């Protein structure tokens, strides 16, 4: 329960920051996160395929 409260507080801080940041900064950070998640997904898929064989 405490984890949920902390996560919601952090989400509120992040959303408040995004609301005051310029659109270009927000778009760049969002693109960076998307690239990071894409690389993570590719690495996870690759590691699961190689460990199964």
Among left, alpha and beta (phi > 0; psi -120 to 50; other), residue 18 is: alpha
Report pLDDT for 53: 58
Q: Which two tokens stand for residue 48?
A: 């699961």
Rounded Cα distance between 44 and 35, Å, is: 14
Single pTM value for the model: 0.61
Contact between 26 and 18 under an 8 Å Cβ cutoff? The reply is yes
List pLDDT tens digits, range 1-53. Answer: 888 888 888 888 888 877 888 989 989 999 999 999 999 999 999 888 887 65
């Amino acid at each position: 329960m405490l984890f949920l409260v902390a996560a919601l507080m952090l989400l509120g801080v992040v959303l408040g920051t995004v609301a005051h940041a310029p659109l270009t900064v927000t778009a760049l950070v969002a693109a960076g996160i998307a690239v990071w998640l894409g690389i993570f997904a590719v690495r996870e898929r690759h590691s699961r395929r190689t460990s199964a064989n």
